[in-house]
Amino acid sequence: MLEGINTVGDLEWEVPIGYVPNMRVPGRFFLSRALAETLEEGAVRQLANVATLPGIVKYSLAMPDIHWGYGFPIGGVAAFDRTEGVISPGGVGFDINCGVRLITTPLTEADLAGKKRELIERLFSAVPTGVGGKSAMRVSNKDLSRVMVDGARWAVERGLGTAADLVRCEEEGAMPGADPGAVSAKARQRGVPQIGTLGAGNHFLEVQVAREIVDPEAARVFGISEGQVCFMVHCGSRGLGHQIATDYIRTLEGALGKYRIEIPDRQLACAPLDSPEGRAYFGGMVCAANYAWANRQVIMHEARKVFAELFEIDYEEMRLVYDVAHNVAKFEQHEVDGAAQEVCVHRKGATRAFGPGVPGIPREYAAVGQPVIIPGSMGTSSFLLHGTTAAMQKTFGSTCHGAGRVLSRSKAKKEVHGKELRERLAEEGILVRAHSDLALAEEAPEVYKPSREVVRVVHEAGLSGIVARLEPLGVIKG
């Protein structure tokens, strides 16, 4: 472990005030000693830098998938006072509302026998992938404004899903506060052709099987059983979200002097929550978040159609368990120093993990807490968990979002050969489809922390409880 960091518990560590100048609160992160070997000094410094921002409440936090990012570390969580605090694009990320949804099917692995390769090929054909992937949907600029306000509901109203899907999405698939007028023409231009596309990088559509049920009661409530075939969609707001982030980083950098905000890193550019610049960024960010929910809804619809046609099952038999956002800033009520307080929670590569009985989760899940979905890394296990009361107390109802990188994409390309990786995964029974071997190399399992260990940390730290482990059968990459 790095010098100057204090132990709070077996899995909890504190970065004390003074680790970098002008910290207002300590930093806290959750990590096992095994994962500590992957901890970057730069990520810890970023965690401490976040603690210098005006209006930050309690702690600057990071989950066990912590690694270096833009401004905030990935895996970072920070809450800001409604009146004194700021909003920062670096605390949300470029892929606004990159998130993941899990869908169950009535199939077992045996039902896929002899059809798995055809399934993967059909899914690859149905869902556009890659950096330049464009949708077959024709969406006008006026339609785009509705997407940015209505989110997943826009898709459902066009027959691309069911009303039950909306209930099982964080924020029911659309955050309030969208301001289409805060979205630039360039961002709109990038967003129009990409609804229903997967994109590139770590985004995927994965067919999985539930191998292990750890919490039978929560599994029953979530509707998942051992041996059941599922599929998972992981993507975000595509070029629209990236452009909105780019536009407002520039705007908020220019506003620092106006509000006399001093920051240790320009990547932490921010503005007061109640300033014109802060309100404009929030309104644009919500537009991108809602676009992402619509995007995942359309992808799920196309995947459902493939399963229905190939296996002759009903569309409604493929049930959305939940959809969670990873990169977003939201106004939430949390207990701070014994009193309820409205704060703006930034989650950057972190998942909301609201516990049992907390408002904002589906009524059917109230007894066990919201579903938490933590994907693995192409070839490793993914996990379904549930939120906890401890997360509400320790991390503003937050947990990790994935395994966390240990190798950059450029290093991965040098050290991993995509063709060999594809063949190795095939030997393990995992079929992979991607546009290029380089895309595979960037996302090889070995460039990430082990998902089992990351999930063990949040489970034992009480930030979320493991419900089920899922193993990949086939993966579509951008």
pLDDT of residue 407: 62
pLDDT of residue 279: 98
pLDDT of residue 449: 72
Beta strands in 143-214 (DSSP E): 204-213
CA dihedral 195, 440, 324, 65 (to 10 degrees): -140
The residue behind tokens 């590569």 is 349
Whether 350 contacts 398, CB under 8 Å:
yes
CA nearest neighbour of 396 among 442, 348, 429: 348
CA distance 313 to 17: 57
CA nearest neighbour of 177 among 326, 344, 314: 344
Q: Which two tokens stand for residue 235?
A: 């993507």
CA distance 349 to 404: 9
Q: What is the DSSP letter of 405?
A: B
pLDDT of residue 28: 98
CA 39 centroid distance within chain: 21
Q: Which H or E run contains 45?
A: helix 41-50
Q: Which H or E run contains 339?
A: strand 339-348
CA nearest neighbour of 210 among 196, 200, 224, 199: 224
Residue-by-residue pLDDT tens, the chain, 478 positions: 578 899 998 999 999 999 999 999 999 999 999 998 889 999 999 999 999 999 999 999 999 999 999 999 999 999 999 999 999 999 999 999 999 999 999 999 999 999 999 999 999 999 988 776 778 888 999 999 999 999 999 999 999 999 999 999 999 999 999 999 999 999 999 999 999 999 888 899 999 999 999 999 999 999 999 999 999 999 999 999 999 999 999 999 999 999 999 999 999 999 999 999 999 999 999 999 999 999 999 999 999 999 999 999 999 999 999 999 999 999 999 999 999 999 999 999 999 999 999 999 999 999 999 999 999 888 899 999 999 999 999 999 999 998 766 666 667 666 766 778 878 888 888 898 987 777 777 777 676 778 899 999 999 999 999 999 999 999 998 7
Active-site annotation holds for 401: yes
CA distance 79 to 55: 8
Over residues 429-471, the pLDDT tens digits come to 889 898 777 777 777 767 677 889 999 999 999 999 999 999 9
Single-letter residue type at 461? A
Q: How many CB atoms lie within 10 A of CB 420?
A: 13
Please provide the size of the chain in residues.
Answer: 478
CA 413 centroid distance within chain: 24
CA distance 388 to 397: 8
Catalytic-role residue among 401, 417, 435, 459 = 401
CA dihedral 262, 268, 273, 277 (to 10 degrees): 90
Q: Which H or E run contains 470?
A: strand 464-477
Whether 374 contacts 401, CB under 8 Å:
yes
Q: Residue 386 forms beta bridges with which residues?
A: 371, 465
Q: Residue 332 forms beta bridges with which residues?
A: 343
Q: Which two tokens stand for residue 119?
A: 């399934």
pLDDT of residue 52: 98
Whether 350 contacts 76, CB under 8 Å:
yes
